[in-house]
Structures are given as structure tokens and as C-alpha cells.
Chains A and B, each alone.
Chain A
Amino acid sequence: MGATLRSPARRTPFKSGVANMGNGTVAKKGHILLVRGPVNTALYDLENEEVYSVNPLMAELIEGWLDKDQSCKSPPVKEDTLKVIRSYLARHPALGGISDSWSSNKELSKENIQTLYNQSGPVGLDYVWLELTKSCNLFCAHCYEEAGTNHPHPTHAIGRPTSGGHLPSREREHISLEQWKDILSEGARLGAKRVQFTGGEPTLYPGLMGLIEYARSCRYRDIEIFTNATRLEDSLLRQWASSGVRVALSFYSCDPRTHDTITGMAGSFRQTVQGIRAILANNIPVRVAIVLMRDNLSHLTDTVEFLKGLGLKDNEIEWDYVRPTGRGVVKAGLMGRDVQSDVTPFRSSSLEEGQGTCDKGFARGTCWKGKIAISSEGDVYPCIFARQMSIGKFPEMRLEEIIQGQYLQRLWQITLEEVEICRDCELRYGCFDCRALAQTTTGELLSRNPRCRYNPYTGLMERNGGKEMKERPKKRGDIVSGDVDDETVIYDSRNHNVHHLNLLGSVIWDLCDGNHTVKDITKEIVDVLKADHVQVERDVTKMIGEFQGKGLLEEVLK
């Protein structure tokens, strides 16, 4: 028997135009979508691609306004009503806020949300990562693929069949140039429009230029090369410029020593900086991601200034996190959640505490939708960072077979409606979602993105995301609960939420009195139920985690 806690979203009267797009209730009028969360409400302006997070009072006012619109005697929706709301919000910031990071979100359209959430047919392929080689001239501390100089250059594998008898087993696994071309043409046939050549270091792969030209002939619209920019010669860059590719690279610090420590090679800073200059000189579109790590946090701002000094524009500089994959496991462990939280505001500097907003928004479900990654050994993953989730093997399986497979289709069709906590959040229709990060961090496919700091049940940005648990959990003093038969109903007067607990949940709730540790609670339940200890402990921990996440327990004092 598992413990359950169900929290229906708060509802207010005078609601109108109610449509159901999943679990929550949604009021919709023309291009305005009002999505109610447990505390705050999100107002989606689908025409201008903006999202406003508003507090309950403002939501009630807007609801009333939508209500008015339903009535037969009232005039139809006025064009300028949103302007009025916008100016109203601007004058009364306490009622809610406009999140700037959403305003340029071109993918937040009514059609996109509808297609996303009403989709029933299979999803098509859109994007392919090709990891041409595992070999790299650097040895970055956090590399997700554990690439480095210890892997042989795949020179001799080119053009040869993969079953070449005299090759050592490791190299035998390499995909040949012809096979890469097969993948590219089959991908294009299946509808892929974008491809990224990555590695290891893709410039170490001798057939790279041939593959770029081949991809171009297959009519890939967007071809990107992810390189460390240490080996970019002028002739190569001229070829790239003429074939219209884009370049992406990671950068770690404006301090040469820090950068070199992270990349594991002395002199790599100088080479990468030269590379960036050369890329810009050849007018190749580029994006540079600064990977946030404890080592480079102290001079993050300087690093941004340094990159701007090289001639990069604001929109060409991005942030990225270490994923707990490959060598990144260790680094991600060092890079605690608190540190990530501290730097998050860099990503969207205009956000203030208390204004409910997540990561930058793309209304397209999980990021990996329509994408596959193929490693140099032929393993196929839904994302380059989801190394534990092999979905097939090339060339044993055809690409088409993999894409039409139930497993991948299921992964692609995941939306935030299924993800725990997010499914109750009012911002779920516009939020970016990295399933690979959530899966690798928590081990659960449908767990919440650990980066997200917004707690929809309290309507607040949280530093620790409610993950820290008191040793002896204690329910909040102002929570009211009542027993009905063997079950419990809890009322949270802070946000007027009602929660429902089954029998086991009720027992755990009763024992959260500040005197019992998780172990004590488990022991008591095991003694009474004579149930499996491991199972009960898992249930208890999960349940208390949910209590904590929904703000039902007393906070940890720091």
C-alpha cells in the first residue's frame, strides 16, 4: 500500500469559460489563457507571447472580467483590455509581475500549446546529435561523455566496414563515414531539419567536412558544430563559413589558470580565445556557453565581460549547468543545488523573489522531443545527456525502427502534465523542461526538474526547493486536519489548499509531530503493518518529501 497525497487546485467562484487541458482548470477567452495554480495564477497572452504571474486577488479580478465577457449583454473582448491589465500590473507590482524572459518566446503560441497537449499521433524526428568521435585533445573535468586523449583517433576506421577483422574491439565499434552518411540521409528522410556534430572534439574526425557537405546536400536547414575551438585553422573556418554552419562551444573562465584547470590542458585558454576571435573574424554564427562550476563562480561577471570584449554579443553568450553524467557526476556533486540557485538569477536578471517564474520558456514539452543522439559507437539516446537511457543501437537497428519504437515515442510525448509538482504549477504550459537532468539527478523519469526553484504550492521562489528535510519532521502549527473514516483531509489556511491522505498517509501525518525521525516513523508502521521495511521507508521518505514540498511542515531554520 503506497501513501498518497492529493491536492486539488484551489478554486474560486465566478469562474467562466472553463476548459480542461489536463489536471488544472483553465479559463480561456480568445488569445488569453488563465491557468490557475495552487496559489498564483498565470495569464498567458498567446498573441503577444507573454506570460504574467499574478496573485490571487488580481486573478480574481481578471476572472471577473472574463466572466463579464461571457454574459450576453456585455460587449465582446476589447482589444486594449490586456493593455489595461499590463499597465495595472506595472503600477501595482505586488499584484504580480511580467516576466521579461518570456517576452521573446516565439514558441508560446496557442497552436503550439494545443498541438503539444492534444497530440495523439506519433511525434516526428526534428534534431539529430552525431557524436563523431569520443576522442578529444582536452580532458575536461565535467565531460558528459568522458571523452579525452585516452581514446584513439578514429582515422583508420573511416571507410572501412565496422566488422574489420584486425581492428581492436573498441575501434571496431566506431561508425564508419558511410554509415554516418546513411544516418544523415535516413534522418533527413524521417523529417530531421537540424543536426549537430559533436564529440569528443569533432574536428579530430577527418571526415567532418565531407559530412557537413553531405548534410547540406540532404537539405538540413541548421547545421551546428560543437567544438572546443582549440584547433580551428583558418582554412577550415573558411570552409565552414562557405558551407553556412554554426559553431557552439563551452567557455569556463576569463582566468587562464582556472580555464586550463577545468579543461585539463595547459594553454587551452589561449587556443580557445584565438579560436573565438577567428570564428568571429570569419563571420560564422556562434554561441558560447559558460558552464557554471564552483571553480569559476567567483569571476562569472568578469568572464561575461571578457567574452563581450572579444566581440560576442549578449545573445551569443549563454549559461549551462553540469549534468550528472560521465565525469560530470563528480563535478555535479561538488556543484550543490544551493550554488546553482545562487547563480540562477544571471539567467533572468529581471526576476525578483516571489514572482513565480521558472526557467526560460519554450512551450514544447520536454526539450528532447523530436531529438535523438547517436554516439560514435552507434548507441542511440534521446539526449546526449541521457546516457543511461539507451533506446537502440545503430547499425543493428534502422533509425526508422528506433523512432517508431514505443519507448522513444513515449519519452517524446512526456509533457509537464505528467511531471510531479509541475503538473499542479500554473506555469507548466510555458516552461522549459530538461527530462535528462531530472532523470539523471533524481533517478526518476517523471520527477521535477531539480533546477526549478519555484514552489507552486507556496507561490514563492525557494532557495533550497524544499529539499532539505528536518531530522524530526513537524507539521505546521496552523494546519488544520480532520479524520474522515480512515482518511485525513488537511486544510492549509495560508493558501487555502485542501489535501487528502489515505490511511498510510494519515498515519505518517500523525507521526510528523517533531518527536519522531523518519526511522522512528518507519519502525512504527512496520511494527503495526508487518510490511516490508525497505518499501515502507521509501514510502515514508517520499510522503514526508511531499509534505515538505507542499509547505505543510515547519521550515528548516538556517
Chain B
Amino acid sequence: MSIMTPATELSTHNIKVLSLPIEITTNHKSFLKEFCDFTSALALPANGEPPAVRFRVMKKRKYTHIEKDGRTIYHRAEDSLLRPLLVHQIRESCCDQVRDYLIFHSAALVKNGRAILLPGESGSGKSTLTLGLMNYGYRYLTDEVSVIHHETLEVVPYQRHIFAWTWSRPLRQEVVKDFSVYRFRHDDGTTTKRWTYFIPQDGAIMPKDARWRVDRIIFPRYTTKGKTELKPLAPAQAVIGLMQNGWNQKLFPDGGLKICIELARMAKCYTLEMRNLDRACELIEGLQG
């Protein structure tokens, strides 16, 4: 994926979002910059798979023109909504392709053949907890997108780069060694935040065709006050938590309610107030026993 070179002419990029190979052809410089962000956050390189969807993002004089499979979906003189529009389109296309799966905004790990789901919104500590739990022998399934089959209710690995806010405590060497690690700062004028980028090496991840039954669902919430606590959660509340973190429920006539209820019945559900990462990991580890 040679997207880092500045585009002066037409360039074609192949990426994969979820299981969907996408081809994007562009000559648009500012879009290319946004595209880099997008691919690093969401997408994987598609290695030689034929594209299922083709996008063309073209700059023609002052107009930006987007075609999806030859059909124009955008033709305007402004660029500010370009990326959200494209993300929206790609997500819609992906969701159409994965009709048999319910997708959650959730991390997933596995240990002793039992999978653990960590659903939560951005900033709740999914990625950090994922990295922390890997110190305790958990293996990485996904940290952002959990894909659950609608009949078997098994979770499918979806490995991508982990993008975590660097906590005060450095991550242990044994986790870090499984990843290529990049650190950088984000300066928005008022605050500087440090972010760390983990790219999994082959040894850290599970085989892609493996499937795992969900054994526990833990809703993490990062907190600066109070202590680190793991509390059991009523199944009905867990259903709501899962529904809130669903991405493609609109594809299911019941909004994925049945799947969520089954998941909540099958797995034990908890909420995790997380202040101290080590303590949180110990508590989760305690559940395994």
C-alpha cells in the first residue's frame, strides 16, 4: 500500500475493511491525506483480492467527484465532508456484505478457548485493556470490531492495528514485543496527547478461520475517580449495552435484539470501572478461575 507518496497523478489503493476488499482510485491530494488516516484507523491492506466495491475520488478543477461502482455519489466544490461521506459509504457497503454477522464496537480476547467481549464506546479503555490483558496470557482477537455470527454466536477474529492512548504506566515488554510500536503526539493547540500505535506481528494473533464462543461480556469504563471495580450486570442491562454498541443492527429486522439477548443469556455479564489497569486485569483474570 504505497499511499504515503504525494499524489500528483492517478493512484490506486487496495484496502480491506472487515472482509470487504475495496479499491480506491484518486488524484485528490487533500483526500489522500485523509485517506491515510482512515486506512490506518480502520482498514487492512487487501493482498491481491479482487475488489468488491470500487470508489473513484477525483478532483476536477474546483469540483470533487466521487463515484461508487461507476455511479456518481458526490459532486461538489467543497471537501470538508469528504471523509465522513466516504467512511459512511464504505461502512454501508461493508455492512451490506456481512449480512450474517452482527458487528459490535468492541474488543475481543480469548484464553483457554473462552472468548471475552469488551464492548464500549471510544475512550472507554477497550484498546488499553486489550493490551493489558495480553500480559495475562490472553490472545488478541480484535480491539475495535467484534464480528458475531447470527446463528452460532461465535466471534470472528478481526485483527488490525491497535491505536491506544498511552497511559501513565508503560506497557510491559512481553506485550510490546509482539507488536511493532509507533508513538506520536497529538497536539490540538490546547493539549498534547500521546498515542501509541501497535501493529500486531504474526505470533500475537489468532488464526483467521478460528471461531470462539463468547463466555464473558465486560463493559469497561475508564474513570479517574473511585476505585477499580468489577460488578455483575443484569442481563437486560447487558442487552441494552450491546445494542448501543452495535454497528449494523439496521440490517436485522429486529435490530439484532435476538442475538443480543442470546449473547447476554449465554455469557456472564459485568461492568468494569477501570482506574488502575493492573487491578482491572487481575479482576478479569480472577473470573477465569
Q: Which stretch from B5-13, B32-40, B49-57 is at the chain A interface?
A: B32-40
Contact partners of B237 in chain A: CB under 8 A: 500
How long is the Cα–Cα vector from A41 to B264 in the complex, in angstroms? 30
A72 at the interface (CB under 8 A from B): yes
A60: CB under 8 A from chain B?
yes
In whole Å, how far is B81's beta carbon from the nearest beta carbon of chain A? Answer: 5
Q: With A60-B84, A63-B84, A491-B254 as known contacts, state yes or no: A484 contacts B244, CB within 8 Å.
A: no
Judged by a CB distance under 8 angstroms, whether B202 is at the interface is no
Q: A74 with B34: in contact, given A18-B121, A485-B235, A491-B254 (CB under 8 Å)?
A: yes
User: Are A487 and B80 within 8 A (Cβ)?
Assistant: no
- Residues of B contacting A485 in the complex (Cβ-Cβ under 8 angstroms): 234-236
Is there contact, CB below 8 Å, between A487 and B255?
A: no
Q: Helix, strand, loop or mixed for chain A's interface?
A: mixed
Q: Are A489 and B84 in contact (CB under 8 A)?
A: no
Is the beta-carbon distance between B184 and A72 smaller than 8 angstroms?
Answer: yes
In this complex, which of B33, B245, B257 has the most chain A Cβ atoms within 10 angstroms of its Cβ? B257
Q: Is B243 an interface residue (CB 8 A)?
A: yes
Q: Which of A58-116 contact B (CB under 8 A)?
A: 60-65, 67-74, 76, 78, 81, 84-85, 88
Asked whether B78 is an interface residue with its Cβ less than 8 Å from the other chain, the reply is yes
Give the complex CA separation of A63 and B234 in angstroms.
31
Q: How far is the CB of A31 from chain B (nearest CB, A)?
A: 13
Contact pick for A498, options B188, B235, B240, CB 8 Å: B240
How far is it, in angstroms, between the C-alpha of A320 and the C-alpha of B86 when the chains are bound? 48
Flag the segment in A6-14, A256-264, A267-275 that touches B: A6-14
Q: Is the CB of A15 within 8 A of B243?
A: no
Determine whether the beta carbon of B80 is less than 8 Å from that of A84.
Answer: yes
Does chain B have a CB within 8 A of A169? no
- Contact at B122–A16, with CB atoms within 8 Å? yes
Residues of A within 8 A of B253 (CB): 480, 493
Residues of B in contact with A, size category? 35 or more
| Structural contact, B236 and A15, CB atoms closer than 8 A | no
Is A13's CB under 8 angstroms from B240's CB? no
Min CB gap A369→B, angstroms: 29
How far is A72 from B194 in the complex, measured between Cα atoms in Å? Answer: 10
A: number of interface residues (CB 8 Å): 45
Specify which of A67, A84, A496, A498 is in contact with B78 (CB 8 Å cutoff). Answer: A84
**B residues near A500, Cβ cutoff 8 Å:** 236-237, 239-240
How far does the alpha carbon of A498 sit from the alpha carbon of B237 in the complex, in Å? 11
Complex Cα–Cα for A74 and B36 (A): 10
A498 to B246, CA, bound (A): 12
- Mask of B75-97 contacts with A, CB within 8 angstroms, 1/0: 00010110111011000000000
Question: Are the CB atoms of A484 and B265 closer together than 8 Å?
Answer: yes
B250 near A: Cβ within 8 Å? yes
Q: How far is the CA of A168 from the CA of B79 in the complex (A)?
A: 79
Given contacts A76-B189, A482-B258, contact A71 B37 (CB under 8 A): yes
* Mask of A470-481 contacts with B, CB within 8 angstroms, 1/0: 000000000011
B57, chain A: closest CB distance, angstroms? 15
Q: Is the CB of B234 within 8 A of A18?
A: no
Q: Which of B17-40 contact A (CB under 8 A)?
A: 33-34, 36-37
A sample of 8 inter-chain contacts (CB < 8 A) reads A480-B253, A484-B264, A485-B234, A489-B236, A489-B257, A489-B260, A489-B261, A493-B255
Which residues on B are within 8 Å of A, measured CB to CB?
Answer: 33-34, 36-37, 41, 78, 80-81, 83-85, 87-88, 105, 121-123, 184-189, 195, 234-237, 239-240, 243-245, 247, 249-250, 253-255, 257-258, 260-261, 264-265
Q: Which 5 A-B pairs have the closest CB atoms?
A: A64-B84, A72-B186, A487-B236, A480-B254, A491-B255
